[in-house]
Amino acid sequence: MPPSDQNRLVLAGYSLGARIVVRTAAKLLEFNRNQNDNEKIVIRKIILAGAAIDNDDPDIAATYQVSREPVDNIINTQDIALAFYSWIGEKHAALGTGYKSKDYPADKFHEFVIPKSFSHCKYLNVYKNLHNSFIYEIVAPQVRPNLNWKTMNKRIWWNVVDECHGWELQKNLATGHYRIVDTENRRRSWGHWADEKEMLEIFEIIKERLVQKYGESPLPEDWWKLINPIQDKFNINALKTPDSSAWITLEEYKGWKLQITKKSEKEEAKPNDQQLAECMLKKMAYYEAKMEYEEMTYEYELMKKEWNKEINNVKYTEEENVVKKEYKAERIKLKKALNEKKKIYKQKAKEYKKVKKYDKTDCRILAPDNRRRAQGTEMNMRESFEDVKNQIDKLFERIPRMTSNPK
């Protein structure tokens, strides 16, 4: 193996994988003993995470003898499987638990303790401590098990949340889950919509490594992919829309366009600002009343289940009658409150219906590449376009490295 490749090689293993790494290091050391100095293989680094191997295993010493940098031993004291390691026929406690009957050179064998289990920690704390070691290869921490599949990356169903040196953090428009795609359009990491915080932290780590390797990231030529308008109606980032005379541009900002249909523009009963404002207030009141009614309905159904369960657990007839009376009184009381909410909800629905004619899906927002990025009512799309302009201004302030400022 050429020295240049040896300097880039990192061996890492988790649990039983760490044991395999230790055995591999022992094989390398045995191989080196029969080689000249210029033929020996000394790799760059070894990482052991939650190692399922005896803490005094003689092969552990081989790890720092075949590694140029100190070995990183990642310890998890809360790992249940490792806690019972010695109960399943092994001689001593596992190296990954932190209990050891043998000390290793502190300058060659570094230890890192993570506060939670590996499944909850997601390796983030570990990578934050170790990321300076990965300056040659960009390694993406994982939230969930991942295969580096090749993606089409047409961005029809995906919004770009952040970008650095061609790497993108993307969010799915339909499901809300996240993925990280590299310059070769391979998925390097992904997470559920509930993993948003972890995915943002992972991409920050990747950005640090990319900046460390390549320097500051310039603003990409297709910078508009980083702008994500507020959505009114469901929209996909469709293929480029052809120029059409059926649409009128109301406003344009740095290549972005807010457009309205000609049919809507020519309507005789085009709403004025006062009517649009009234429509907005009625719509907000309607949705607020609807949400309150649905929440109370949900609570009512839950209480019905609990009451029925309580009645079924009653053993005696007299006690059952008492519980039923209490249940009936409470149910009538809650039902009256639910009916009042329903009346308010229906009334707000009628009020909104009268002004709903001003609330039409007749506007869209186009990116500089003529992709439709949002669609909805004129009122909501005007607000969304204002947000687009703010996003663009903040982007240029954050990354002022542009060859030419778009008009």
CB atoms within 10 A of CB 164: 20
DSSP labels, 262-298 = HHHHH-TT---HHHHHHHHHHHHHHHHHHHHHHHHHH
Alpha helices in 271-377 (DSSP H): 273-313, 317-355
Angle, CA 18 vertex, CA 12 and CA 22 arms, to 5° = 95
In order along its 407 residues, the chain shows pLDDT tens digits of 677 777 778 888 888 888 899 999 999 999 888 888 788 888 888 988 888 888 888 899 999 999 988 888 888 777 666 666 655 555 677 888 776 657 788 888 888 777 655 544 444 444 444 444 443 455 566 667 677 778 876 677 888 888 888 899 999 887 888 999 988 888 888 888 777 888 888 888 888 888 887 888 888 888 888 888 888 777 777 667 776 778 888 899 999 999 888 765 545 456 666 777 777 788 788 878 888 888 888 788 877 777 776 666 655 566 667 767 777 788 888 888 888 888 888 888 888 777 776 666 578 889 988 888 888 877 788 889 999 999 998 888 876 544 444 44
Q: Can you give the pLDDT at residue 136?
A: 40
Alpha helices in 45-98 (DSSP H): 60-63, 80-83
Q: Can you give the pLDDT at residue 75?
A: 82
Q: Can you give the pLDDT at residue 24?
A: 92
Q: Each residue of 320-377: pLDDT tens digit?
A: 677 677 777 888 888 888 888 888 888 888 887 777 766 665 788 899 888 888 888 7
Angle, CA 195 vertex, CA 194 and CA 200 arms, to 5° = 130
The pTM for the full model equals 0.48
Q: Nearest Cα to 405, choosing from 163, 216, 162, 223?
A: 223
d(CA 200, CA 220): 20
Which residue in this structure is represented by tokens 């039409």? 360
